[in-house]
Amino acid sequence: MLEILLDATVRAGTPILFATLGAIINERAGIINLGIEGLMLIGALSGFAATFTSGSLLLGVVAAFVAAFIAGSIHAFITVQLRGNQIVSGLALTMFGIGVTALFGRSVVGQTIDGFERHALPLLSKLPFVGKAFFNQNWLIYFSFLLVGLIWFFFYHTRWGLNLRTVGENPAAADACGIAVNRYRFLAVACGSGIVGIGGAYLSLASTPMWIENMTAGRGWIAVALVIFASWSSVRALFGAYLFGGITAMQLRFQAMGTTVSAHVLQMLPYVFTIVVLVISTIRQQKGASQQPGNLGLPYDREDRK
Amino acid sequence: MPKLLQLQHIRKTFPGVVALDDVSFSIAEGEIHTLLGENGAGKSTLMNVLTGFYAPDSGSLLLDGQPVRFSSPRDSLALGIGMVHQHFMLVAAHSVLENILVALQGVPLFFPRRQLRSRIEQTIAEFGIELELDTPVWQLSIGAQQWIELIKLLMRDCRLLILDEPTAVLTPQEADKLFQVLQRLKQQGKSIIFISHKMREVMEISDRVTILKKGSSVTTLEAGEFNQNKLATLMIGGDRIPEWQKSLPFSDELVLEIENLAVRNDRGLADLDNFNLQLKKGEILGIAGIAGNGQKALAEALTGLTKVESGRVLANGEDITRSCARSSYIAGIAHIPEDRKAIGIAPDLSLDENLILKNFRAKRFRHGVFQSRSAIRNNAIEKVDQFAIKAGPQGSPVRLLSGGNIQKVIIARELSEQPTVLVALYPTRGLDIGSAEYVHKVIAEGAGNGMSTILISEDLDELYKICDRIAVIFRGRLIGYADPTSSSREEIGLMMSGEVSA
C-alpha cells in the first residue's frame, strides 16, 4: 500500500520537479519567470507532436526543450535586453502559452502515442521499500534525479555556476569582475525555460500519453511557489516536488477508496497546500537570513546611477 | 616617467546633469596619483568611465599611447585596470572565498578549490590581514569587506589600481597599513589612482595630485608644489564659506540618557549591545567610530525608527524608549538621516511640502481639514531665506535640488520646531565644503541656544573641529569618551578599533 503511494508520489511529483528546477535556474540569475505554466504547456504540446509524427520519445523530449527554450527567449529578451517588467512579461508568456497551445493543439486532440514505460534498474530496484518507487520508473524520471545532482554541482562546483549566482545576487559586482551579465541572464532564462518544457512533456509523454488542452492544470504555478519553499536549492526542490506529488497521490487514493468527501474538495488539496507552504516558508525566511537571490526581479543597467 | 594612461577631454552627461564636462590628465608608470575634489565634482563618474562602467559622450583614452575604447568592465580588466569601488562590489550572501574566486582570472570551469584556497590564504597572510574564508560577507565589518575588495584587486595582475575613498571605512592604523601596501605596489612599478578628500592622507601619499571641480580638471600638481591650504583653495575655487563660532561651554544638566540599550538588526545580530550615553544641555557630542559599528541603530533607536530590544532612553527624565517616530518628534528629538534622498525627503514632492512634512498638522498650516496653501508657501519663503536654500522653480520636485540644498531643506524642517536634541547622522557626507560649513554653523548656533546635538560622523577632522566631547563606539558598545582638546587622533583611532578604552 505505502509502496504504491510512494510510486504514485514520484510519478505525480516529477513534472513539478522539472518545472521547479527550471524556475530555480531562472531566479538564480535574478530573473523572475511567471511564464512557467505557459512554458509547460508549450513543452507538453511540442513534445507530444514531435513524438506523434516521428514515433521517437527522445525526439519528443528534445522538441519540448527546444520549443520552451525559444519561448523562454522571448521572456529573456524582454527582461534582460530591454530591461522590461519581469512580472508582466512572465504573465504574458503564460497567457501566450495557453492560447498558442490551444490553437495548434486542435489537430492532435484525441490522438495517442506509446508513452514512456517502466524500466527497472538492476540491483537498485531490488532495494527494500524505496527500490520499486524510485528505481522501477521510466527514463524521464531517472533523468530528473540526474538533473537535481547536475544543477547542484553546477551551482556550487563550477566557475560558470559561481558566476551565475553572482549575477543573480549582485549584477554590478559580477560586471566589475568582467562577467558578461546579460549573456548569463539570457542563457539562464532560456535554458531554465527549456527544462520547464521537459516538465510539460512529462505530462503528455509519460503521465497520460496524449494531448489535452490546458493539461498542466496549474502545476506551473505550484512550481513558482515551490521555488520559494525550496529556497532556490535543487536538492530541496526534489523534496518539495514530492511533497506535492504525495498530496496529489493521496487525494487520488482517497477518491479511489470512495470517501464521502467531495472529489472537488480533495482536488483542491495540493493548491491549498501551496498557500500554506508559501505562508510558512515566507515567515521562515523573514526570520533567518533570506536565501533569495539579492537582485531577484530587478533589471540591471550598468549606467544606472546609484 | 613614461605615461601609462592619458585622458583627453572626457565628457559624460546623464539626463539633466553634466557629470563630467572636460577632464584631461595623465597617469605615469609607478606613481601614486591622487584625485581630489569635492563630492559631486565627478571623481567616481570619471573612474567609472576608466573601468568601462560608463561610456563617455566624447573624449579619448590613450593606454601606452594607443587609443582604447572600453565597452564594458571586461575590456578594461583585460588591459590591467582594476578598481575598488566606493560602494563595494561584493555579494553579501556569498562567502569570502567565493567573492574572491569570482574575481580571479583564468580559473578553469571545474576549479581546483583546495589549490585556489591555499593561494588566496597565502595572499591574505602576505598582507597580514585576518580573514576567515568561509564566513559570509554580510557578517563582516565594513573594514573587513574593504580588505576583501583589496585582495580581489591584488590577486589580479593589474597595471593600474584605482581606489575610490578606500580609507573612509578604515581606522587610522588600518589606513597606515594600506599605505604601506600601496608604497610596495608602487615600487613594483604599478600605477595607482587614489581618491580621497582627507588632506592629511593626500599629503602623505601622493606623487601628483589632480584637482577636479564641477566636472572639469582644474590642474595637476607635482609633489612639493602643493600644501594643504593650496589644495583646499583650488578645490573650492571662489566659493564663499560661511563663518561660525563655537558655542560657549555647555551646562551640566542632562537632557538625554541612554541606559544599557540593545538593538538587534533584521538578521538577528546585535547592532547595539549594552550601550550607554549621556548628553548634556547645549552640548555637541560627537560619536566616532568606523562605519557599521552601530551608529545607524543608535540614531534610529533615538528617533523611534527601530525597535529597541532592551534598555531605556530618557529624555529630560521621561522614558521615550518605546515611542514611535512621531512622538519622538514631540519629545523634541530631531533627526538628520544618513540617506537623505531615501528617508530625508519625499523626493517627488515640492520644497513647500517637504518643509512641513513633520508639522503639517500644526494649526497654522491648515483651515480645518484643508491645507492652507498660503501659510505653507509663506513658511517656505521664510525658510528659504533663513537657511539660504537655492530653491528651484516653485512647485518643482525637491529631488532636483543639489545634495547640499536638499540637506538644507531637511535641516530647516527638523529645526523648525526648536528641538531639544538633534541627532545628525553623517550630516556633511557628500556635501561640498561650503554646504558642510553651513551645517556646522547651524549646529554650533543651535548649541548656543541650548540645543544638544549628537553628531555621528566618520570624519575625525569634523569631530575635532566642532564637538565638545567625543564618544567612541565599537561593535555596538560605548568604548569611552574623549576630549577633543586633549586626546590625540591615535588615541581615538585605537579606541575606534576597540583596543584601548579611555
The CATH number that applies at residue B67 is 3.40.50.300
A88 Cα distance to chain centroid: 19
Question: Torsion angle of alpha carbons B172, B178, B179, B180, nearest 10°?
Answer: 120
Contact check, Cβ <8 Å, B103/A306: no
Query: Angle at which helices A219-229 and A36-54 pack, to 10 degrees?
Result: 120
Same-domain pairing of B426 and B485: yes
Percent of chain A with pLDDT over 70: 98
The DSSP secondary structure of B487-499, one letter per residue, reads --HHHHHHHHTTS
Domain boundary among B416, B436, B465: B416
Same-domain pairing of B177 and B224: yes
Hey, is the C-beta of B161 within 8 angstroms of any chain A C-beta?
no
pLDDT tens readout for residues A222-235:
999 999 989 899 99
pLDDT tens readout for residues A120-168:
988 888 888 888 889 989 999 999 999 999 999 999 999 999 999 999 9
Provide residues of A within 8 Å CB-CB of chain B: 157-160, 162-163, 165-166, 169-170, 172-180, 287-289, 291, 294, 302-303, 305-306
pLDDT tens readout for residues A85-132:
999 999 999 999 999 999 999 999 989 999 999 999 888 888 888 888
Same-domain pairing of B377 and B491: no
Is the pLDDT score of A289 beyond 70? Answer: no
- Least confident range of B136-145, B322-331, B337-346: B322-331
pLDDT tens readout for residues A246-270:
998 888 888 888 788 888 888 888 8
pLDDT value at residue B501: 56
Element (H, E) at B193: strand B191-195
Task: Supply A182's cell numbers.
Answer: 546579460
pLDDT tens readout for residues B61-116:
999 999 999 999 999 999 999 999 888 899 989 999 999 999 988 888 888 888 99
Instruction: Find the CB nearest A294 among B55, B93, B103.
Output: B93
pLDDT tens readout for residues B182-191:
999 999 999 9
Query: Angle at which helices A181-202 and A2-28 pack, to 10 degrees?
Result: 160
Is the pLDDT score of B404 beyond 90? Answer: no
Element (H, E) at B315: strand B310-315
Instruction: Find the CB nearest A170 among B14, B73, B91.
Output: B91
Q: What is the DSSP letter of B249?
A: P
pLDDT value at residue A102: 96
Size of interface A-B (CB pairs under 8 A): 81
B contact residues 78-117, partner A, Cβ 8 Å cutoff: 78, 83, 85, 87, 89-94, 98, 101-103, 107-111, 113
Per the domain annotation, does B339 fall within a domain? Answer: no
Instruction: Find the CB nearest B109 among A159, A302, A306.
Output: A159
pLDDT interval class at B326 (50, 70, 90)? low
Same-domain pairing of B45 and B117: yes
Same-domain pairing of B324 and B355: no
Per the domain annotation, does A141 fall within a domain? Answer: yes
Tell me the shortest Cα–Cα distance from B111 to chain A, in angstroms. Answer: 6
Structural domains in chain A (count): 1
Same-domain pairing of B95 and B25: yes
pLDDT interval class at B197 (50, 70, 90)? confident
Answer yes or no: are the C-beta atoms of B469 and B480 closer than 8 Å: no
Q: Bigger pLDDT: B198 or A272?
A: A272
Instruction: Find the CB nearest B14 among A162, A169, A305.
Output: A305
The rounded distance, in Å, linking the Cα atoms of A281 and A291 is 11
The rounded distance, in Å, linking the Cα atoms of B458 and B295 is 10
Per the domain annotation, does A92 fall within a domain? Answer: yes
Contact check, Cβ <8 Å, A302/B53: yes
Chain A contact set for B53 (CB, 8 A) = 175-176, 302-303
Q: What is the DSSP letter of B137?
A: G
CA-nearest of B38, B483, B452 to B234 is: B38
- Phi, psi (degrees; rounded to nearest 5) at B72: -160, 165
Is the pLDDT score of B244 beyond 80? Answer: no
Longest Cα–Cα distance in chain A: 63
Domain boundary among B416, B432, B462: B416
User: How many of the other CB atoms lie within 10 Å of CB of A123?
Assistant: 9
Answer yes or no: are the C-beta atoms of A195 and A144 closer than 8 Å: no
pLDDT value at residue B238: 63
Q: Bigger pLDDT: B38 or A112?
A: A112
Task: Supply B355's cell numbers.
Answer: 518643509
* Partners of residue B278 on adjacent β-strands: B257
Give residues with Cβ within 8 angstroms of A175, minimum separation 6.
A181, A300, A302, B53, B72, B73
Contact check, Cβ <8 Å, A169/B101: no
Strand segments, DSSP code E, in B29-125 are 32-36, 58-63, 66-68, 81-84
The rounded distance, in Å, linking the Cα atoms of A180 and B31 is 31
Tell me the shortest Cα–Cα distance from B237 to chain A, in angstroms. Answer: 27
> Which residue has 545532482 as its cell numbers?
A149
Please work out, in degrees rounded to the nearest 5, the angle formed at the alpha carbon of residue B413 by the alpha carbons of B409 and B416: 135
Same-domain pairing of B232 and B264: no
- What per-residue string of b and e applies to B106-140 under the rule 16 or more CB within 10 Å gives b? ebeeebeeeebbeebeeebeebebebeeeeebeeb
Contact check, Cβ <8 Å, A177/B72: no
* Cα dihedral across residues B471, B474, B480, B484: positive or negative: negative
Pick from A154, A159, A181 the residue to mutate for testing the B interface (most B CBs within 10 Å): A159
Q: Respond yes or no on whether ipTM tops 0.85.
A: yes
Distances (CA, A) of B327 to A178, B255, B296, B324, B409: 50, 16, 19, 6, 22
Give residues with Cβ within 8 angstroms of B106, minimum separation 6.
none
Same-domain pairing of B100 and B128: yes
Helix/strand number for chain B, H first, E second: 16, 22
Contact check, Cβ <8 Å, A159/B51: no
Task: Supply A262's cell numbers.
Answer: 467531495
Contact check, Cβ <8 Å, B102/A160: no
Contact check, Cβ <8 Å, A162/B54: no
The rounded distance, in Å, linking the Cα atoms of A267 and A204 is 20
Tell me the shortest Cα–Cα distance from B267 to chain A, in angstroms. Answer: 6
Tell me the shortest Cα–Cα distance from A305 to chain B, in angstroms. Answer: 9
Percent of chain B with pLDDT over 90: 32
pLDDT value at residue B325: 62
Per the domain annotation, does B342 fall within a domain? Answer: no
Task: Report the residue of chain A nearest B138, measured CA to CA.
Answer: A289
pLDDT tens readout for residues A54-96:
999 999 999 999 999 999 999 999 999 999 999 999 999 999 9
pLDDT interval class at B247 (50, 70, 90)? low
Per the domain annotation, does A201 fall within a domain? Answer: yes
Instruction: Find the CB nearest A169 among B93, B107, B152.
Output: B93
Domain boundary among B171, B205, B236: B236
Q: If you average pLDDT over each of A190-199, B355-364, B448-457, B463-472, which comes out highest?
A: A190-199
CA-nearest of B191, B240, B65, B172 to B461 is: B172
Hey, is the C-beta of B55 within 8 angstroms of any chain A C-beta?
yes
Same-domain pairing of B472 and B454: yes
pLDDT value at residue A290: 67
CA-nearest of B25, B32, B85, B30 to B61 is: B25
pLDDT value at residue B11: 94
pLDDT interval class at A172 (50, 70, 90)? very high
What average pLDDT is seen over chain B? 86
Radius of gyration of chain B from Cα atoms?
24
pLDDT interval class at A20 (50, 70, 90)? very high
Chain B contact set for A157 (CB, 8 A) = 110-111, 113
Distances (CA, A) of B424 to B301, B320, B495: 13, 18, 21
Task: Report the residue of chain B nearest A176, measured CA to CA.
Answer: B73
The rounded distance, in Å, linking the Cα atoms of A92 and A101 is 14
Same-domain pairing of B71 and B154: yes
Element (H, E) at B176: helix B172-187
pLDDT value at residue A305: 59
pLDDT tens readout for residues B10-28:
999 887 678 899 999 999 9
Contact check, Cβ <8 Å, B83/A176: yes
First-last CA distance in chain B: 48
> Which residue has 602576505 as its cell numbers?
B126
Tell me the shortest Cα–Cα distance from B369 to chain A, in angstroms. Answer: 39
pLDDT value at residue B227: 83
Is the pLDDT score of B237 beyond 90? Answer: no
Is the pLDDT score of B398 beyond 90? Answer: no
The DSSP secondary structure of chain A, one letter per residue, reads -HHHHHHHHHHHHHHHHHHHHHHHHHHHTT---TTHHHHHHHHHHHHHHHHHHH--HHHHHHHHHHHHHHHHHHHHIIIIIS---HHHHHHHHHHHHHHHHHHHHGGGTT--------EEPTTGGGSTTHHHHHHEE-HHHHHHHHHHHHHHHHHHHSHHHHHHHHHHH-HHHHHHTT--HHHHHHHHHHHHHHHHHHHHHHIIIIISSS--TTTTTTHHHHHHHHHHHTTT-HHHHHHHHHHHHHHHHHHHHHHHHT-SS-HHHHHHHHHHHHHHHHHHHHHHHHHS---S-TTTT----TT---
* Cα dihedral across residues B394, B399, B401, B403: positive or negative: positive
Per the domain annotation, does A298 fall within a domain? Answer: no
The rounded distance, in Å, linking the Cα atoms of A103 and A106 is 6
Same-domain pairing of B229 and B244: no
Per the domain annotation, does A118 fall within a domain? Answer: no
Tell me the shortest Cα–Cα distance from A177 to chain B, in angstroms. Answer: 5
- Averaged pLDDT for residues B132-137: 91
- Phi, psi (degrees; rounded to nearest 5) at B422: -115, 125
CA-nearest of A223, A212, A229, A270 to A16 is: A223
The DSSP secondary structure of B275-306, one letter per residue, reads EEEEEETT-EEEEE--TTSSHHHHHHHHTT-S
Per the domain annotation, does A305 fall within a domain? Answer: no
pLDDT value at residue B45: 87
Pick from B20, B88, B89 the residue to mutate for testing the A interface (most A CBs within 10 Å): B89
CA-nearest of B240, B291, B209 to B474 is: B291
Hey, is the C-beta of B54 within 8 angstroms of any chain A C-beta?
yes
The rounded distance, in Å, linking the Cα atoms of A283 and B180 is 48
pTM beyond cutoff 0.90: no
The rounded distance, in Å, linking the Cα atoms of A58 and A47 is 9
- Phi, psi (degrees; rounded to nearest 5) at B379: -60, -45
pLDDT value at residue B329: 63
Tell me the shortest Cα–Cα distance from A76 to chain B, in angstroms. Answer: 20
Per the domain annotation, does A119 fall within a domain? Answer: no
Task: Supply B120's cell numbers.
Answer: 588566496
Distances (CA, A) of B359 to A109, B172, B417: 68, 42, 8
Tell me the shortest Cα–Cα distance from B8 to chain A, in angstroms. Answer: 21
Same-domain pairing of B224 and B250: no
The rounded distance, in Å, linking the Cα atoms of A91 and A33 is 8
Chain A contact set for B96 (CB, 8 A) = none
pLDDT value at residue B312: 86
Structural domains in chain B (count): 3
Is the pLDDT score of B268 beyond 80? Answer: no
Domain carrying residue B312: 240-332+419-502
Per the domain annotation, does B340 fall within a domain? Answer: no
Per the domain annotation, does A306 fall within a domain? Answer: no
- Sheet with B270-280, edge to edge strand ranges: B270-280, B254-264, B310-315, B318-319
Domain carrying residue A236: 2-113+131-287
Contact check, Cβ <8 Å, B94/A165: yes
Task: Supply A103's cell numbers.
Answer: 490553437
Distances (CA, A) of A17 to A57, A67, A141, A197: 20, 19, 10, 12
Question: Torsion angle of alpha carbons B345, B349, B355, B356, nearest 10°?
Answer: -110
Answer yes or no: are the C-beta atoms of B347 and B341 closer than 8 Å: yes
Chain A contact set for B94 (CB, 8 A) = 165-166, 169
* Partners of residue B284 on adjacent β-strands: B453
